[in-house]
Amino acid sequence: MHEYSIVMSLMEQCEALAQLHKATRIEQVELKIGVLSGVEPALLSKAFETFKLDSVCHEARLVINVQPLVLQCNHCEQQSQVDERTIVCPICQSNKTTVIDGEDMMLMQLVMDT
């Protein structure tokens, strides 16, 4: 499952950061998940709950912020946030747009206990 490998690399990232900051445990992990990232938040948090048990994150709470899609229109030059998976500018209906947010998954913040 896709989400399992994501969580495994997330755990590795957390372990490394905890070590770097000499933290004994992580209290909270905050993620940003773009709607176009292909990551399913429900599956991800389930995988997290499974994997965290034997990691530095075993008491951590997972906070997921879903990042909507943000388009920059190359036609009317407006930036808009859209709720659906589209590349059409909601203002002028042009499809000459660039996705500027909502495509990736990112670790936003770790709350650690040192």
Q: Which residues are annotated as a binding site for Ni(2+)?
A: 2
Nearest-approach distance from CB 109 to Zn ion, in angstroms: 33
Compare residues 55 and 97 and give the one whose CB is closer to Zn ion. 97
Residue 3 tokens read as 């989400």
Nearest-approach distance from CB 113 to Zn ion, in angstroms: 47
Nearest-approach distance from CB 90 to Zn ion, in angstroms: 8
Compare residues 76 and 111 and give the one whose CB is closer to Zn ion. 76
* C-alpha of 19 from chain center: 22
Compare residues 89 and 110 and give the one whose CB is closer to Zn ion. 89
**Binding site listing:** 2, 73, 76, 89, 92
Task: State the amino acid at position 77 in one-letter form.
Answer: E
Chain contacts with Zn ion (rule: CB under 5 A): 73, 75-76, 89, 91-92, 94
**Binding site listing for Zn(2+):** 73, 76, 89, 92
Strand partners, 61: 28
Compare residues 88 and 105 and give the one whose CB is closer to Zn ion. 88
Integer Cα distance of 31 and 10 in angstroms: 10
Integer Cα distance of 97 and 99 in angstroms: 7
Integer Cα distance of 99 and 57 in angstroms: 33
